[in-house]
Amino acid sequence: MFPLYIRVCVGTSPKYLTLARLNVILVRALLILSIILTGCGVSGVSAYAGTSNTTRTNTRESRSSTKQERSTGNRKILPATGQEPAVITSPGPSSPGHIKVQAILPLAKVGNAYNVVVSVSGGASPYQFSILWGALPPGLTINPATGTISGTPLTPGTYAFAVLATDLPLGDRGDRRMSISVAPATVPGITVQVSPANSIIASGSAKQFGATVVGTSNVAVNWSATGGTVSNTGLFTAPAVSTTSTAIVTATSVALSSSSASATVTIAPSAPPPPPAPTITTTTIPDATAGVSYQAALAATGGTPPYQWSIASGSLPSGMQLSSTTGVLSGLTSVSGSFSFNVQVSDAAGQSAQQSFSLVVLSSGSNCGPPTYNCSRTDLAPAPTPAPPNVGNLTGVGTCFNDPDFGSRVCRITDAAFSSHTNVIGMGGSGDTNPFNVDSTKIALGNTGGNQIMVNFNPTTMAVSKMYGGWSISDNVTWSHNNKDVFYGIKQTGGAYLRYDTSGPSIPTPTVAADFKVAGCLGTGFTVTWTTAGGVSNDETIFSAGFSNNGGQGAVGALYVAAITPNGCQVLDTSTGVITSSGNLPSGIVPNWATLTDANGFTIHNVKMAKSGSFLSITPTLSSCAPCANTTFMWQIGTTNVFKSTVNMGGHFTEGYNHWINNNVNGNFKSRLYSSPSSPTTVISSTLVPTGIVPVLDTHLGWNNVDVNDTNPFCFTSYSTNNPVPRVAWYNEVMCTSPVNGTTWRFAHTFTTARSHRFNDKVAIGAISQDGRFYAWSSDWMGTLGSESGASTCTVGVDCRGDVFVVELQ
């Protein structure tokens, strides 16, 4: 190719320029014009013209069409939800003396700090940076001296812009089209809380609200209200209203607009509404005794104090009065009987409430309570189960009443809020458990979840509270007979009794009281698959239990009865009659074992120890031993002597110091010495059971209140699926019987349907306190306590929950 020349006239002489030289001149002219226009605020004018000169490659490919950008790899703009950074680079090297702009722009997120530096090459520093066209995402800025794009993005989206770099006062410059994608905030934990959540304010008054934002460093919020006004600091000003109205004040996170919280403001025409009417919270009062000073405080809540108390109807016994200012019922009366009256409380605003009470005044010197219970019924008059008193539904802890037929005070001490499981007394379906401590100030309450919940008990108010805020254990518990703060526990699959001391301020760490899995006892390699607690002697020196190493109660491995004494350990194998021992205790085979059982011995159903620790009663599994039907074995601890009785040993039983009592399933309890079980004594003679008394189906006995002479009453609940016709006494009741003369005291209805799907509720399993003052039992309360699922209604025998009730024995 030949060079192309252009003739240019300068002055009088023509000059010849090549086309390339002319192009250079034009480029420089356009550069000067671009700088002038930029300084005047004109944008979008290129500093360079297109050229075919390969030594002057254009660095402003960002001026290409958007369509081309989106179809070329280095120029693609990512959407806001993209996960890869938008990488913006120059398509090729820049010409010497010109500025090349480039940057790698990662994905941004709302609420997250962002920082990236635009890099340049060519020209001469220092550089100046600006946005040539478009805009950065809200919340981001570009540093004009360093080219740093930084800040905290506020709004999601894709934002296109061009960055201009110059080296003024020199004449080089360069720009590049870029984009930043901002993703929505991805922190799932951004939450907003507004306080206070509810307020009552007067018309036109102000209330300051606060907002707490969790989950982001950006804690700013935007305030709004459905009525009145709210400042950007959360100060709400109520509108003027003539009637009570409501406004909602809302705080919305700046970092995440979908996260907000609200408060409700009740706006009164002139002042907050008065508080609700008062309520009398006391529902029952203790009995009084004629000739003895009496005092009981009534309590109320709500309304506007001070309160005024009065008797609205009925009357108090002579000598008793109610304080009009304190609500204390006090005095001394010489009369006895039951007195019903209604108490009214009025507040300063003129509002009032009433509560019905019944005050029982006992005869002077009546000697109520254990061991003679002179204030309780001993008659045989029929008392069919009435409609159950209202003790609440799913909740009702603390509800008390006087039994409608027996007058004894009964309180509900568990409900669904106390434990979601059905609550029971005892862990093994036996009335022989010892859940009360020695002075009736602490109780172990079981549930169908397999735990025992330790609670404090007030013997005066019969109120309970969870020990250590809700402590529970899976041990079978028996309280000490000597220390009110100590109990012993052994697990269903445990090999040791543990001692717990609850006198301290925190949950106690147990210590080992008796370990059966040691050499000379069960052995260190013995695998425990089931345990039945035999008990702890009253002096707490002898511990006993039954064990299986293959299966549970009555299974093929339930063969081992063990007792630990101060002299060592003894273990009886009930399949062979062989006793092994340690220390100075005897061992060997039980004399005449082959005549007591069959060739295979028997498996264990239950083991219980005399309170003295001298004997163990061992109940065989009937199906495992044909000659063992209607039989219990008595093992004298510390010897190889085992006795067997064949005389009326059926039914459930309980243990005294030296006597063993069973109910014989016929209403006539039998008492016998451990040492001579074949010579029983009938506790209730035929003369005490008049014609028409049909024996109750079953009773579960307990004798935790026994004295060393075995003269204190043993106590129990009776159980029958239906009351016979004609109606007779003793059915589905809480009772105690004297082992000396057969007198039977009646204290309360159990209010069980006797058809519950839970064994403890069905048969009203209960237990007597060690001091003989209280009896606690489990009941479905005629199906009125709601469902185990949490519903307020249930189907008897399918899903009705049960709870624990306590009666005061007078």
Residue 13 has pLDDT above 70, yes or no: no
Question: 720: helix, coil or strand?
Answer: coil
Cis peptide before 726 (omega within 30 of 0): yes
> Is it the case that residue 199 has pLDDT exceeding 80?
yes
User: CA-CA distance, 643 to 640, in Å (whole number)?
Assistant: 10
- Indicate whether 134 pLDDT > 60: yes
Alpha helical stretches, state H, 451-607: 593-596
Q: Which two tokens stand for residue 198?
A: 């509810």
Residue 142's H or E segment, with its range, is strand 140-142
| Proportion of the chain above pLDDT 70, given as a percent | 82
Q: Which residue has the higher pLDDT, 361 or 543?
A: 543
Give the tens place of pLDDT for each residue, 105-124. Answer: 888 888 788 999 999 998 88
Q: Which amino acid is at 106?
A: P
> Where do you find CATH 2.60.40.10 in the chain?
61-183, 279-362
CA atoms within 13 A on the CB side of 656: 24
Lowest mean per-residue pLDDT among 259-263, 265-269, 355-359, 429-433? 429-433
pLDDT of 431 over the 60 cut? yes
Burial class (CB in 10 A: 0-12, 13-18, 19+), 504: exposed
Q: Match domain 279-362 to its CATH number in 3.30.830.10, 2.60.40.10, 2.60.120.10, 3.30.565.10.
A: 2.60.40.10
Instruction: Report the CATH fold assignment for 61-183.
Output: Immunoglobulin-like (2.60.40)
pLDDT band (50, 70, 90) for residue 31: low
Residue 82, pLDDT above cutoff 60: no
| pTM recorded for the entire structure | 0.58
- Count H helices and E strands in the chain, helices first: 4, 62
Q: What is the mean pLDDT of the chain?
A: 83
Torsion of CA 53, 58, 64, 69, to 10 degrees: 120
Average pLDDT in the 350-366 region? Answer: 84
Lowest mean pLDDT among 2-6, 72-76, 190-194, 285-289: 72-76
Burial of 452 (0-12, 13-18, 19+ CB in 10 A): buried
CA dihedral sign of residues 215, 216, 217, 219: negative
Helix, strand, coil % over all residues of the chain, rounded to 5: 5, 40, 55
Q: How far apart are CA 422 and CA 446, in angstroms?
A: 9
- The answer to whether residue 659 scores a pLDDT higher than 90 is yes
More confident residue, 507 or 30: 507
Give residue-wise pLDDT tens across range 679-735. Answer: 888 887 654 455 555 555 578 899 999 999 999 999 999 887 765 545 567 788 999
- SS3 state at 31: helix
The DSSP element (H or E) to which 355 belongs, if any, is strand 352-362
* Weakest-pLDDT range from 94-98, 343-347, 362-366, 668-672: 94-98
Say how far apart CA 648 and CA 666 lie, in whole Å: 10
Provide mean pLDDT across the span 451-462: 91
Mean pLDDT value across residues 371-390: 86
pLDDT at residue 624 in the model: 84
Contact 259, 191 (CB under 8 A): yes
Q: In degrees, to the nearest 5, what angle opens at C-alpha 715 toward C-alphas 723 and 644?
A: 100
DSSP classification of residue 38: H
CA 618 from centre of chain: 39
3-state SS string for 238-297: CCCCCCCEEEEEEEEECCCCCCEEEEEEEEECCCCCCCCCCEECCCCCCCEECCCCEEEE
Cα dihedral across residues 129, 131, 136, 139: positive or negative:
positive
Average pLDDT over residues 596-602: 85
Omega of the bond prior to 93 within 30 degrees of 0, cis? no
d(CA 201, CA 318): 50
User: 486 is written with which tokens?
Assistant: 């100590």
Taking the C-alpha atoms of residue 718 and residue 703, their distance in angstroms, rounded to an integer, is: 15
In the predicted model, what is the mean pLDDT of residues 5-32?
Answer: 49
Which pLDDT value is given to residue 478? 92
Span 727-748, average pLDDT: 86
How far is residue 280 CA from its own chain's centroid? 29
Candidates 426, 433, 484; CA nearest to 453 is 426
Q: What is the pLDDT of residues 686-701, one digit of tens each?
A: 544 555 555 555 788 9
Q: What's the pLDDT score for residue 428?
A: 65
- Angle 762-764-766 from CA coordinates, rounded to 5°: 150
**Integer angstrom CA distances of residue 425 from 88, 224, 474, 765:** 76, 56, 14, 7
572-593 per-position pLDDT tens digit: 999 999 999 999 999 999 998 8
d(CA 98, CA 96): 6
Position with higher pLDDT, 29 vs 315: 315
Lowest-confidence region among 52-61, 158-167, 284-293, 742-751 = 52-61
Q: What is the pLDDT of residue 363?
A: 72
497-511: pLDDT as tens digits: 999 999 999 999 999
Query: What burial class does residue 796 get, using C-beta atoms within 10 Å of its C-beta: 0-12 exposed, 13-18 middle, 19+ buried?
Result: middle
In the predicted structure, residue 80 carries a pLDDT above the cut 80: no
Q: Which residues, at least 6 apart from 1, have a Cβ–Cβ distance to it below 8 Å?
A: none
